[in-house]
A = this chain, B = another copy of it.
Amino acid sequence: MVSKEFSELRLQLITKTKEQLAAAVGFDTLCIQSLAGYDDLIVQLNGLSKRLREWHAYTLPELDHFVKDHEKYTELIATKTREELVGEYVKDTSMGANISEKDYNAIVQFAQHIHSLYAYRHELLSYIESILQEHMPNVATLLGTTLAARLLAGAGSLKRLSRLPSSTVQLLGAEKALFRHLKTGARSPKYGHVYNHQLLQQSPAKIRGKVARALADKTSICAKLDYFGGEFLADKYKKALEDKFPRQ
């Protein structure tokens, strides 16, 4: 019977397609998703921390002034009692209200949840780091975890990253400025995500464009090494760059 053969063929093709779809999910996709989750967390932790500050300030407004770092602030409230905080930071009667234990506990609980999210954020980053170290050790070593992940996300996959010209790698993440440049003739961007690399951060503004170009250059080589399974050379490149552009 033709129809039976036909339906068998159909099933085979469906199975084949499912397999191919499943195979299309590489480490790049997972890494990009985790990075997006990580970025979401940062934004939301900021929002929640600000809320915590506002809420807690009713009972201890002084602390807000002494501890500027959100994570530290959250940790303090999550782990210390109000008396300990008064003793350490205020050293006097606080201007805040003496709220009931129940009300203070509600604030502490809020802080504890934010605190555990902060801890989780670090875990997620080490997960991303472990994927990157496994699949693209050269790029990850040269650029560091978050930056490597951001470039990967910008390119879409390691395959594509390894094929991009290094001038494109240099500008990944600066798409808005690039298109503004092309459209209105505004000044062209000199760097995208790579701007956050330590090497650029420590260089004087005058040579940052040059450093970015050199860094993108080495990144391209590293991406090719990683994609085609080459050896591990990133530490040498990193050393060479650091020698060429010493900390000033």
Contacting residues, chain B, for A179 (C-beta < 8 A)? none
Q: How far is the CA of A95 from the CA of B97 in the complex (A)?
A: 57
Q: Is chain A's interface secondary structure helix, strand, loop, or mixed overall?
A: helix
The reply to whether B36 and A40 form a contact with Cβ atoms under 8 Å apart is no
Say yes or no for A202: interface residue by CB 8 A criterion: no
What is the bound-complex CA distance between A131 and B103, given in angstroms?
Answer: 9
**Cβ of A47: which chain B residues have Cβ within 8 Å of it?**
40, 44
Give chain B nearest CB distance to A237 CB in angstroms: 28
Residues of A within 8 A of B (CB-CB), count:
46
Give chain B residues whose Cβ lies under 8 Å from the Cβ of A207. Answer: none
List, in ascending order, chain B residues with CB within 8 A of A96's CB. 21-22, 25
Q: Does A122 contact B (CB under 8 A)?
A: no
In the docked arrangement, what's the CA distance between A30 and B51, Å? 12
Chain B residue with minimal CB distance to A41?
Answer: B48
Stretch binding the partner chain, chosen from A52-60, A79-87, A189-197, A222-230: A52-60
* Residues in B neighbouring A48, C-beta threshold 8 A: 37, 40-41, 44
A110 within 8 A of B: yes
Pick the residue among B24, B36, B58, B59 that contacts A97 (CB under 8 A): B24
- Expressed in whole angstroms, the Cα–Cα distance for A51 and B43 within the complex equals 13
List chain B residues, Cβ under 8 A from A113.
Answer: 116-117, 120
Q: How many copies does the complex hold?
A: 2
A97 — nearest CB in chain B belongs to which residue? Answer: B25
Evaluate contact between B99 and A30: CB separation under 8 angstroms: yes
Instruction: Decide: A33 and B15 in contact? CB cutoff 8 A.
Output: no
Q: Does A18 contact B (CB under 8 A)?
A: yes
**Known contacts A47-B44, A120-B109; A58 and B37 CB within 8 A of each other:** no
In the assembled complex, which residues on chain B have CB atoms less than 8 Å from the CB atom of A102? 127, 130
A37 touches B22 (CB 8 A): no
- Say yes or no: is A23 at the interface (Cβ < 8 Å to chain B): yes
Contacts of A123 in B (CB 8 A): 109
Contact B22 A97 (CB under 8 A): yes
Q: Which chain B residues lie closer than 8 Å to A130 at the CB level?
A: 102
Chain A residues 77 to 115 lying within 8 A of chain B, measured CB to CB, are: 93-99, 102-103, 106, 109-110, 113
